[in-house]
Structure 1
Amino acid sequence: MSQNNRLNKQKKVRKKRHKILRYTLLTLVVLLIGGTAFGFYEYNKLKPTNHFSHLKPIGEPTKKSINNNSQLSHYKEKAGVFNVLLIGSDARKGSSLGHTDSMVLIHANLNNHTYNMMSIPRDTRVKSDYGYTKLTSVQYISQAKKGTKQGIIDAVKAVSNLTGVPIHYYAETNYWGLQDMVNVLGGIDMNLPFKVTLTHPWYKENKGKTFEAGTHSVNGKMVTELVHERYSLPGTDYGRQQLQQAALIGIAKKVMHPSNITKLPALSRSMSKFLIATNMTNEDMVSIGLGVKNDFHPEEQIKYRQVKGTGKTMYDDILKANNSQIILNDQQLKDIVKKYFSN
């Protein structure tokens, strides 16, 4: 082969290689642009104002409960705003039945970054499909008769009808779920508003332990002991609600701390361990994350509301006997809902 032929052949090979390289680079650019566009589309779709819109309530308030809460008679859903009910169950391991041990209703406004919380006492008198009873019994009896999921939905409906607030999401955890979550985070700091003595702990060795008012670094096991206590607290159930608030703020602060970014994947993968049940999707959780990132100051943005009540001995339609129940202050409930849960 002549020198010219060899040179021509080498030129053709180089030209072919350059052509392949150009096509490859072009393909990569197209994929990159397409991926960026897709990512931009997904990001916009998951922005709270887009994602949390046209939400359908789970336990839609009845006409009667809305009339009783006249401020909600013209309630309109707002983009970026939703209500979620946090449920703490006393269900034991291996059991599908549990009483509602605590309930916290949260009105999340991701537009102005406010999170109004209201605890509902476990012994609050409510009306269920089975008649009047304590709130703590609604989920248990419904689960026994209709199954686990329906039990949660009926509990949500009971709270929605009590307050007149449409509830879009629920998230239920139990002793072990809360303990695992705190442990994955490496423990939390709880700012106790008053002295706490453990009178009915889960573990016998913790009976009688006392914590002075102030901030304490605690692991998952001790967090669950603290939020379970009520008999040594001022206001019993109302005192326990304040401890639950302290735990939620402690968890929120730890989750959003920069040093815990590396733990978030483990936290996400273990979500099924922490939550017994929820109707929130991964997309919902990502959207919430987008809404709170870089602008989350839990002690300032999380506001806690309590509705006072009166203890009375009343007939329980489920138990077919009298027992001690809490009748919430109706006017105070309406005022709190109107001011903090309807905008």
Structure 2
Amino acid sequence: MSKWKIILSLAVILLFFGVGSILGYSAYLTNKAVQVTEQSQMELARGETSEKRQTSINPDIDNTSILFVGIDSSNKRNPEGEVSSRSDSLILATFNNEDHSVKMLNIPRDSYVYIPEVGYKDKITHAHAFGGMDAAVSTVENMLDIPVDYYVRLDFNSFVDVVNALGGIRYDVPFHIEEQNSQDNKNSIVLEEGSQKLNGEEALALARTRKYDSDLARGNRQMDLLEAIVQKASQTGSIGSYGDVIDSLGKHLKTNLSFDQLVTFKDYVLSQDHFQFDTMQLKGEAMTLDGIWYYSVDEQSLKHSADELKQHLGIDTPLDDENTANSTEKENSL
């Protein structure tokens, strides 16, 4: 695999959920990617290192975790902009530096969890609206008892631009769909069941819809669409779209990963078994409180998923420190 294909593959793997860094095959694209990453920097209030880490880490040599967050900050849905936006997509990915494997856990947006920012339980999608990325990260850390080392946040508007820049993607649509577009025009996206080429608006509608199956199935679709993007981006014919992809990311991307840190993830694409990742889902069931629908996460599923991610990160035992115990005590009292 040539250098530009390797780096682009890495970029698209990450950009679907928000990263999108490209080292490029030319000085022009490299400089463009560096500028976009610099413009997208937004540090967390806690600083660079998670409170669940005893020391700082280096993604070039350490196992790391990245929280991918998709938001919708369109004027119609969220007139107050990015800060008040809910997270439509939450995926925690862990990267094992020894075997260059990746595990991705989809966290249903309606999961009923404790949100430290406000001190009570609510849908996890509200955490970002309550306190931006700081609140989203702390909520996921509290929920799974796992350090979130980095985050990548991408507005869904960029998803449309990126898929279009790649000339569309092929996907096997599982059912007939009639859905609104990114401008909330009702039933403006109509797709028939079967394998077909999707443009950005069509892919976004399929990634978002929850009318036809469930939150868990929706998470699986989002991760399947990621694979479709990776396949399209790895094709030689996509080379002419790299500049447009970077430009679209520059408008909608926020991260606390530096350009140099992003580049270190190239080894996952270069792995002997090629790039692969295991996808995971949190089991649970619907519940209603005060007339509001929530997703009640099964405790055994939560523990199993958390333990698997900890093992993948090389954390052999639960991070059972005093802060975690106090947090659990708070939750149990609610």
TM-score by length of 2: 0.68
Structure 1 position 195 matched with structure 2 position 184:
no
* d(CA) in 2 for partners of 1:183, 1:106: 25
Matched, 1:310 2:279: no
CA contact (8 A) 1:310 1:329 kept: yes
Change (3 A) 1:139 1:205: closer
Distance in 1, Cα, partners of 2:91 & 2:176? 21
What is aligned with 1:99?
A: 86
Q: Do structure 1's residue 281 and structure 2's residue 262 form an aligned pair? A: no
Aligned residue among 137, 147, 160 for 2:126: 137
Does residue 258 (structure 1) correspond to residue 236 (structure 2)? The answer is yes
Q: CA deviation at 1:209?
A: 1.9
Cα root mean square deviation, aligned = 2.9
Question: Is the counterpart of residue 88 in structure 1 residue 63 in structure 2?
Answer: no
CA distance in structure 1 between the partners assigned to 2:190 and 2:248 by the alignment? 30
> How far apart, in 1, do the equivalents of 2:51 and 2:235 lie?
34
Residues 228-285 of structure 1 deviation map (CA, whole Å, 9 limit, x = unaligned): 11111x2x2112111101111112222333333453344335432242x111111122
- 1:33-72 aligned at under 5 Å gives the runs 57-58=49-50, 60=52
Return the alpha-carbon distance in structure 2 between the equivalents of residues 221 and 295 of structure 1.
Answer: 35
The 5 Å alignment of 1:166-185 reads 166-185=147-166
Question: Rg larger in 1 or in 2?
Answer: 1
Q: 1:201·1:225 contact (CA, 8 Å) conserved in 2?
A: yes
Q: Report SS of the residue matched to 2:257.
A: coil
Structure 2 Cα separation of the partners of residues 112 and 244 of structure 1: 25
Distance verdict in 2 for CA 1:190–1:341, change over 3 Å: farther
1:296 to 1:170, Cα distance in 2 relative to 1, 3 A:
farther
Per the TM alignment, residue 85 of structure 1 is displaced from its structure 2 partner at its CA by 0.9
Letter in 1 for 2:171: M
Within a 5 Å distance, the mapping from 1:74-85 to structure 2 comes to 79-85=61-67
User: Does the 8 Å contact 2:171/2:198 carry over to 1?
Assistant: yes
Gaps of 5+ in 2: 1-46, 313-334
Higher RCO structure (Cα 8 Å, ≥6 apart) = 2
Name 2:308's counterpart in structure 1: 339
The structure in which a higher percent of residues are helix is 1
Aligned residues: 255
Deviations 1:144-163 (A, max 9, x none): xxxxxxx1111111011101
Shift of 1:115: 1.6
CA contact (8 A) 1:90 1:99 kept: yes
- Distance of 1:324 and 1:261 partners within structure 2: 45
* Inter-partner Cα distance in structure 1 for 2:172 and 2:185: 24
2:265 alignment partner, SS class: helix
Structure 2 CA distance for partners of 1:204 and 1:271, relative to 1, 3 Å: closer
Instruction: State, as a whole percentage, how many aligned pairs show the same letter.
Output: 24
User: Does structure 1 conserve the Cα–Cα contact (< 8 Å) formed by 2:101 and 2:268?
Assistant: no
CA distance in 2, matches of 1:230, 1:175: 16
